[in-house]
Structure 1
């Protein structure tokens, strides 16, 4: 806790959240600051506001994606059932497509990158749990991964 009575958020906590939420530029910025001794992970994250960053080097790191952020994306397959969509975590559309065909013996009508849904809260019917997909993804150990099916416009995932 800081002197003003507000709980401190550490550099480590901000760094971890930036990675989990695919905030590629922020994560590389913090990584650069830590790697170059500008800040320590246990320090108050407010220290990040007063660092003189080397934006050129950080931009190069981001372009190379040194931290491998955002590799696993969310894909949604339009199934042969009307208004039913299958959700997958995968590195690419081909892996998601192959897993869908293997699991359900059908070719999806359409398979779309739906990473814009990652910050949304979904209810997982099988476990009666709710989670933001960014955070749920961190619990998965192998990809591609089937999350479940949902009806159009709903955020309840049911395993079929």
Structure 2
């Protein structure tokens, strides 16, 4: 059995804003408990208007920390950062590597991808790796264009 709490936790970890707020609404309105089998979520009569308001207000603070990728001055080299905004990622990159990135973009679409961390010889999906980080902004490492191996470089 997969519990309601497990589905809610996964929805929050993976920035599934609508699903997480839907489950949160169901719990808050006594339709299910966190210990219930998640199958009970399929038979609830949801208040879509109330849930939409919760989503617009983002009551669960989902998706605050995003993945940013900086195009470095080295051809086909990119630096990866978790940050709440692009300015913090930019400042950390400049502080660590004494260079202004050619481009810095939100790359949250890469969060569900599996990346290998060369330093620790491990692999992790970036959504789950983000939950192991204590403070942001955070430097993950550098990767070549099209590759998913992150190598940490010192400044």
Moved runs in structure 1, 4+ residues, more than 2 A? Answer: none
State the secondary structure of the residue aligned to 1:42. coil
Secondary structure in 2 matching 1:60: helix
* TM-score normalized by the length of structure 2: 0.98
Q: What is the match of residue 80 of structure 2? A: 87
Deviation of the 1:118 alpha carbon: 0.2
How many Å separate the matches in 1 of 2:79 and 2:71? 7
Partner of 2:145: 152
Q: How far apart are residue 45 of structure 1 and its match?
A: 0.2
The answer to whether 1:113 aligns with 2:93 is: no
TM-score, reference length from structure 1 = 0.95
Q: Which residue of 2 aligns with 1:39?
A: 32
**Aligned position for 1:143:** 136
Tell me by how many angstroms 1:82 deviates. Answer: 0.7
Give the equivalent residue in structure 1 for 2:55.
62
Query: What is the aligned counterpart of 1:29 among 3, 22, 46?
Result: 22
Task: Give the Å deviation of 1:33.
Answer: 0.4
Alpha-carbon displacement from aligned partner over 1:120-153 (angstroms, at most 9, x marks no partner): 0000000111000000000001000000000000
Match of 2:117 in 1: 124
Specify every segment of 5 or more residues in structure 1 that has no aligned partner in the other structure, as ranges.
1-7
Aligned-pair RMSD on alpha carbons?
0.4
C-alpha distance in 2, partners of 1:37/1:154? 46
Matched, 1:11 2:4: yes
Q: What runs of 5+ residues in structure 2 fail to find an aligned partner?
A: none
- The alignment covers a number of residue pairs equal to 153
Deviation per CA, 1:34-60: give whole Å up to 9, x if none.
011100111100000001111101000
SS class of match (1:87): strand
CA distance in 1, matches of 2:28, 2:139: 36
